[in-house]
Structure 1
Amino acid sequence: MAMSDDEKMKVLEMLGRLDKDERDLVLRSIDSFTNWLKNTLSWIYIKIKDAINSLFNFLDDIFG
């Protein structure tokens, strides 16, 4: 299922609350990102778990 714009903004907001080193660790791999999302925004993770690669690539374009 696709994410709404509000959900994308929530992920960006939560990543923005991390300092750069923490964010780099979260975005280091899809596994670390998935674990962070499960623990931080589990309701979004449950909704998009089948499309997590697309979200990770989207974030990598922004922060990578």
Structure 2
Amino acid sequence: MRIAQELGLPLVCVIDTPGADLSAAAEEGAPAGEIARRLAEMAELTVPTVSVPLGEGTGVARRPCCRPAG
């Protein structure tokens, strides 16, 4: 993300997720906090972003790079 910002290039996010895993084992690596940090970093970007969702993920998993243009 920083490189795209520094070079003024659009950011393309490829999101491949099977969907949410709500088990305790899935939270051991604290992925929610890392995802939140990346989303906050993306929100500060001034370059265009686009997401390419793959897999079976739905809902919020499909929208991390999407924001209104302008």
Asked if Structure 1 and Structure 2 have the same fold, meaning a TM-score greater than 0.5 normalized by the shorter chain, the answer is: no
Higher relative contact order (CA 8 A, sep 6+): 2
The alignment's TM-score, normalised by the length of structure 2, stands at 0.31
> Which one has the largest radius of gyration?
2
Looking at secondary structure, tell me which structure has more strand per residue: 2
The alignment's TM-score, normalised by the length of structure 1, stands at 0.32
